Amino acid sequence: MSIHIHSPDRFLYLGIQRGGTVQGKSYFGGNCFLAVYDLEMNAYSSLVYLAEVANGRSDDATPACITFDQARNRIYVGMFQSMRGICVIDAGSNQITGNIRFSQSEHNKHFQWVDPLSVKTVGNYIISVNRNNDELAIVDGDNFSLVSTLYLGSAPNGPRDVVVFNNEAIVSYPERNGLIFVNVDEYN
């Protein structure tokens, strides 16, 4: 469902929707995971189980996007259909170290989760396009506290993607006919 390459360290990250296990056990439900592939060794070096398990059932999450944070040596995985929000992984150990959970906003009338479809970093911030909340969220990269959210307007399927240029987040919102430009420095 998603792919990211971190070429200085030669790793390819693959977000896979189904088939993960925890200590060899598969649960009823989705069982999504992150596969880390070593391009020099031509072999998988690690598998990171991403789904949350409750009452013996895996959620039906999908790893929608993957971003590498060079400054903090972290991997951020935006989780579709998951209360986990953004899964935070230490790139050295390939272990989950935290989650960035978002609350359902007043603009999200259908789902408990927010669907972070695109996650990027800029300076000290983690930027997330949260589709179901129709928002751009700005999160502190050190303590994962929410700095600000910007409502982007409502349209079917919500905003889709974000790129960062200098300190500006450029959000793709096809069903609102284009792009939305946000100066991140104005929200700190």
How confident is the model at residue 188, as a pLDDT? 62
- Other C-beta atoms closer than 10 Å to the C-beta of 149 total 21
Q: pLDDT tens-digit profile of 67-101?
A: 999 999 999 999 999 999 999 999 999 999 999 99
How many structural domains does the chain have? 1
- Domain-embedded: residue 185: no
- Domain-embedded: residue 165: no
CA 23 vs. chain centroid, Å, equals: 24
- State which residues form the domain around 134: 2-153
**Exposure pattern of 54-66 as b/e (b: 16+ CB <10 Å)?**
eeeebbebbbbbb
How confident is the model at residue 178, as a pLDDT? 87
How confident is the model at residue 157, as a pLDDT? 84
- Domain-embedded: residue 164: no
In this prediction, the residues of the chain whose per-residue pLDDT falls under 50 are none
pTM: 0.93
CATH number (domain holding residue 20) = 2.130.10.10
- Domain-embedded: residue 162: no
Cα separation, 151 vs 76, whole angstroms: 22
- Domain-embedded: residue 124: yes
- Domain-embedded: residue 75: yes
Q: Which of 99, 88, 28, 85 is nearest to 59 (CA)?
A: 28
Q: What are phi and psi of 7, to 5 degrees?
A: -65, -35
- Domain-embedded: residue 137: yes
- Domain-embedded: residue 159: no
